Amino acid sequence: MALHRLVRDCPPLDPNSFYCNLLQCSHFKSTSIAAIYQDVLVGSVTAYRPPEQPDTLFVWQVAVHSSMRGQGLAREMLRRLFARMAAEGIRFIETSITSDNEASQRLFAGFATEHKAEMLCSVMFDKATHFEGVHDTEYLYRIGPIESAVSSPSTDKGDTP
């Protein structure tokens, strides 16, 4: 329920069903990360490995509570998640972003720059073709290959950012 509330409170993210959030927290727990502050979920990155791309981590959603924005929490969660997954052979990060979601575009562009990796952008799901005009086009951002995780001073502070 905490993940459902967090995503709901983070527009422009698409809210998922309660059941979907439970699947994210159970089936995809090894490919996701959560940030808890004072016993409250304040951030999450939910992701999965596409079955036909074992070297790729597809980031489904990045959510940061409004009280925690502007502190680098999203980037730190993404760093830690990638560091964990790089040990399992992940060399590419993918995500989909709409053209008006500048915060996500900055997050992933910064991650690509930090890792000195190429970032490609292409249409993933078209507004007219896939969404019948009711949702903006989702652009696929693909970062990589990423050779190794970049360590940051904050990665030694424990498991929860």
- Of 43-47, 67-71, 106-110, 147-151, where does mean pLDDT reach its minimum? 147-151
pLDDT tens figures, 21-63: 889 889 999 999 999 999 999 999 999 999 999 999 999 999 9
Its pTM stands at 0.87
Residue 124 in contact with residue 140, Cβ under 8 Å?
yes
Q: Which CATH number fits domain 2-156: 1.10.3470.10, 3.40.50.2000, 3.40.630.30, 3.40.50.2300?
A: 3.40.630.30
